[in-house]
């Protein structure tokens, strides 16, 4: 009998509602599957045949501890999905630079190093950007994310926010895309290298963040084939093997502009496709021991 742990956080000891669909699917197939809190010292990770990272939605606040947990599983030779090297590479959004260098259309991004003392207003003037989104380079669920205009960037309080961000880590500054407000942001979900389904995330009136924590809405509608093709090319860039991925982007100028590639603990919108949980369970069950 296959023994699986779905890693989660102490805030979600029974997983989130979406991930419980995967849990039920695995159990229906005869697997011994259960949630396990990633930082619980009582968990014997070596007892599992596979560990699947799911609702670990606090990892970005405790990255050194989370990375040490990955190291521990490697020492125990416990198979982790996605694999630890892939998770490490995806934890810092500098991977966007690698995707851009590989020729993918990525939202223009200025990376600002921790402790650099950079001026946000100066950066916007230098880049010719009038409206930007500022975020930590290690982040999830729009944590620490703020939209700033060129006019507001000169405000000492806004520069104070930017300085505080840089005091704790690297930051990213990206021009705000009006298409997010007009069209929303697409999430394309992949399992075991194959496209599964997509959803369109729409921000609440007056906001730019599409996450449900900020009033965002999820719509199930078919994306254009050209957008799926573009997302598949991004998924093809990911070094195998991997069990799941989410490609996030916005349609701009007739093409998919990549915003993020989520390989750690993304919400996979299993409830939005009746066969998604089954496809995910297939990918997890078939994942090789690495």
Give 3-state DSSP helix, strand, coil % of the chain, rounded to 5.
Answer: 35, 25, 35
Does the pLDDT value for residue 131 go beyond 80? yes
Give CA–CA dist 35/5, Å, rounded. Answer: 6
Q: Does 171 lie in the same domain as 52?
A: no
Catalytic residue flag (residue 209): yes
Check if 34 is active-site: no
- Same domain as 124, residue 101: no
Q: Which domain holds residue 183?
A: 95-105+179-275
CA distances from 70 to 52, 73, 76, 138, 247 (A): 12, 5, 10, 16, 23
Q: Which of 20, 50, 54, 246 does the annotation list as catalytic?
A: 246
As for how many domains the chain has, the answer is: 3
Domain-located, residue 284: no
Domain boundary residue, one of 119, 145, 176: 176
Q: Classify residue 81: in a domain, yes or no.
A: yes
Catalytic residue among 20, 262, 265, 279: 262
Same domain, 128 and 189: no
Residue 113 has pLDDT above 60, yes or no: yes
Residue 186 clears pLDDT 90, i.e. is over it: yes
Q: What is the pLDDT confidence band of residue 215, given thresholds at 50, 70 and 90?
A: very low
Residue 287 lies in a domain: no
Bridge-based pairing of strands 3-8 and 50-55 is: parallel
282 within domain boundaries: no
Q: How many CA atoms lie within 13 A of 255 on its CB side?
A: 9
Q: Among 156, 176, 196, give the residue marking a domain's end.
A: 176
pTM value is 0.92
User: Sorting pLDDT into bands at 50, 70 and 90, what band is 208?
Assistant: low
pLDDT in tens, 12-34: 999 999 999 999 999 999 999 99
Annotated active-site residue in 209, 251, 260, 265 = 209
Q: Are strands 194-202 and 217-219 parallel, antiparallel or unpaired?
A: antiparallel
Sheet order of strands, 110-112 included: 110-112, 171-175, 131-136, 146-149
The answer, yes or no, to whether residue 68 has pLDDT greater than 70, is yes
For residues 229 and 174, give the distance between their C-alpha atoms in angstroms, rounded to a whole number. Answer: 24
- Cβ-based burial of 164 (10 A; exposed 0-12, middle 13-18, buried ≥19): exposed
pLDDT at 211: 56
Same domain, 101 and 218: yes
């Amino acid at each position: 009998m296959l023994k699986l742990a779905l890693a989660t956080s102490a805030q979600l000891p029974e997983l989130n509602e979406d991930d419980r669909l995967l849990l039920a699917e695995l159990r229906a197939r005869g697997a011994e599957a259960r949630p396990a809190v990633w930082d619980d010292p009582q968990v014997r990770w070596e007892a599992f045949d596979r560990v699947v990272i799911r609702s670990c939605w606090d990892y970005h606040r405790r990255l050194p501890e989370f990375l040490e947990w990955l190291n521990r599983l490697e020492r125990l030779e416990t198979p982790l999905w996605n694999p630890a090297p892939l998770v490490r590479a995806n934890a810092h959004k500098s991977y966007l630079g690698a995707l851009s260098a590989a020729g993918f259309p990525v939202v223009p991004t200025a990376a600002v190093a921790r402790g650099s003392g950079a001026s946000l207003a100066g950066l916007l003037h230098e880049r010719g950007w009038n409206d930007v989104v500022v975020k930590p380079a290690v982040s999830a669920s729009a944590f620490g994310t703020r939209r700033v205009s060129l006019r507001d960037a000169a405000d000492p309080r806004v520069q104070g926010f930017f300085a505080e961000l840089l005091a704790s880590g690297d930051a990213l500054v990206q021009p705000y895309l009006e298409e997010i407000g007009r069209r929303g942001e697409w999430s394309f979900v992949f399992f075991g290298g194959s496209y599964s389904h997509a959803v369109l995330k729409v921000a609440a009136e007056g906001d730019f963040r599409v996450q449900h924590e900020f009033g965002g809405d999820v719509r199930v509608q078919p994306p254009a084939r050209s957008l799926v093709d573009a997302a598949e090319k991004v998924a093809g860039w990911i070094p195998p093997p991997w069990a799941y991925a989410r490609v996030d982007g916005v349609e701009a100028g007739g093409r998919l502009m990549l915003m993020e590639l989520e390989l750690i603990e993304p919400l996979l919108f299993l409830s939005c496709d009746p066969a998604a949980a089954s496809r995910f369970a297939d990918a997890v069950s078939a994942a090789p021991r690495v």
